[in-house]
Amino acid sequence: MTNLTQAQVRERIEKRLASRHRKEKLFRGLGIASIAFGVLAVVILFSDIISKGSGAFMQTAIQLEIHYDAQVLDIDKVDDESLAWANFSGVIRQALRERFPSVTSRGEKRELYTLVSSGAPFTLRDRLADDPELLGKSEKVWFAADDDVDTFVKSLKDSKEGFRGRTSEQKAGWIEQLLDSGELKKRFNTTFFTNGDSREPEQAGIRAALMGSLFTLLVTLALSFPIGVAAAIYLEEYAPKNRWTDLIEVNINNLAAVPSIVFGLLGLAIFINFFELPRSAPLVGGLVLTLMTLPTIIISSRAALKAVPPSIREAAMGMGASRMQVVFHHVLPLAMPGMLTGAIIGMAQALGETAPLLMIGMVAFIVDVPAGVTDPATVLPVQIFLWADSPERAFVERTSAAIMVLLSVLIVMNASAVLLRKKLERRW
């Protein structure tokens, strides 16, 4: 410099070095902190849900000595008709009274009856239907406990007192008595996987929601994959570069970022109001999710087609193949792994989607397992939403368990997409 010697410059640089290096460390620290925050969020989210939900895979059961007394049941033979109106709860109540003979007052008795699930009579009905010989005989039967009992028993392992909630001192005493004598235990909760929704937490399961999700995804896959691939083929292999193609491209990119709830509005206005398709049906859900996942599938399919080197097209064309033959015989098979990966990711997205399905009525309380795409159904994420809204403490557990199931399915889907990509990926 005209007025600064190199030595002067050196000196000035030296003076600021320490503070510059401090800033460098701080900046780096901020970066690490950000990553740590993200990782921590993942850890907290998962551990929170697992700690809340793992209990739901076990269920408290109570064993009772049941006497199939024809008089109490008020039937004389076992057939479909008599099974339908036999007084099974009377038998259960009798068994409870016999187990706790000291209970005499009406109020206490009523409380006693709430030890077992209100679904217990159905357990008995099924047993008797399976084996009509049981009529007039006795046997020991395990029943699902009521959700309050379940919550209380499960909370005992965290603290000696346990979470009482609606459970009275006396009831807690009964429960401890049963626990001590081995007539109360925790068993694997099969109900959770075999039942549909229910107002009673101990009878609620995810089967109906899982089937609903399956049907919805089948419709989505059946529509969005062929349409998406066809659209990608046209845009990548045929489309002339003009304003119309540009418009389609801009449109696809924009649609990929439109909020999902807007697709729900579309589904409500067009599919349900205009075409009068059934509400709450996987068919409509699948249609809405098709429109939603289409951009994802088109974009990834185009990327897969783009990755196929032009030399392959040129080679096939050189052999005299028509454009269509080039695409369908040569390019498409090579691009298929990439397209499938995109489809799996799109399906994973669709599986986790809730908001648009609320719009088309998949939020209704549906107990039955759907048998087809036009039956009323709900899907797993919506089931989670519904349960999360329920006041019963036992539903928190089941919501978290349903989330665990949903996340496991998503992890499997995404992992298979990654594996597929790794396994079938070609380097040109």
Task: Give, as ranges, the residues between 4 and 23 that touch other proteins (CB under 8 A).
Answer: 4, 6, 9-10, 12-17, 20-21, 23
Options 87-95, 125-133, 145-153, 354-362: segment touching other proteins (CB under 8 A): 354-362
Contacts of 265 (CB under 8 A, 6+ apart): 359
Q: Beta partners for 59?
A: 187
Using the rule CB under 8 A, which residue among 285, 286, 370, 381 binds other proteins? Answer: 381
Footprint (CB under 8 A) of other proteins, residues 94-133: none
Q: Within a 10 A sphere around the Cβ of 393, how many other Cβ atoms?
A: 18
Segment interacting with other proteins, rule: CB under 8 A, options 48-56, 102-110, 141-149, 202-210: 48-56
Q: How far is the CB of 240 from other proteins (least distance, A)?
A: 11
Q: For 136, left (φ over 0), alpha (ψ -120 to 50), or beta?
A: left
- State the DSSP string of 33-70: HHHHHHHHHHHHHHHHHHHHHGGGGEEEEEEEEEE--H
Q: Are strands 138-144 and 184-188 parallel, antiparallel or unpaired?
A: unpaired
- Among positions 220, 354, 375, 394, the unique one binding other proteins when judged by CB under 8 A: 354
| Site track for other proteins across 261-300, x = CB under 8 A | xxxxxx-xxx--x-xx--------------x--xx--x--
Long-range contacts of 268-273 (CB under 8 A, 24+ apart): 268/359, 268/360, 271/360, 272/360, 272/361
Q: Is 353 in the site for other proteins (CB under 8 A)?
A: yes
Told to check if 213 binds other proteins by CB under 8 A, we report no
DSSP characters for 91-118?
HHHHHHHHHSTT--SHHHHHHHHTTB-T
Mask of contacts with other proteins, 217-256, x by CB under 8 A?
---------xxx-xx-xxx--xx-------xx-xxxxxx-
CA atoms within 13 A on the CB side of 264: 16
Residue 178 found at the interface with other proteins (CB under 8 A): no
Range in contact with other proteins (rule: CB under 8 A) among 2-10, 102-110, 122-130, 171-179:
2-10
Residues paired with 179 in a beta bridge? none
Question: Quick one: how far is CA 57 from the chain centroid?
Answer: 15
Q: Please list, in sequence order, all residues whose beta carbon lies within 8 angstroms of the beta carbon of residue 299, skipping any fewer than 6 positions away.
A: 252, 253, 256, 342
Give the separation between CA 82 and CA 80, rounded to whole angstroms: 6
CB of 153 to other proteins, least distance (A): 21
Q: Which of residues 126-165 bind other proteins (CB under 8 A)?
A: none
Pick one of 89, 94, 414, 416: the residue that binds other proteins (CB under 8 A).
414
Out of 156, 307, 334, 407, which residue is the one contacting other proteins (CB under 8 A)?
407
Closer by beta carbon to other proteins, 196 or else 295: 295
Give the CB-side neighbour count of residue 364, counting CA atoms within 13 A. 15
Distance of closest approach, residue 349 Cβ to other proteins, in angstroms: 9
Query: Quick check: helix, strand or coil at residue 124?
Result: helix
**Given candidates 76, 257, 318, 428, which one binds other proteins under the rule CB under 8 A?**
257
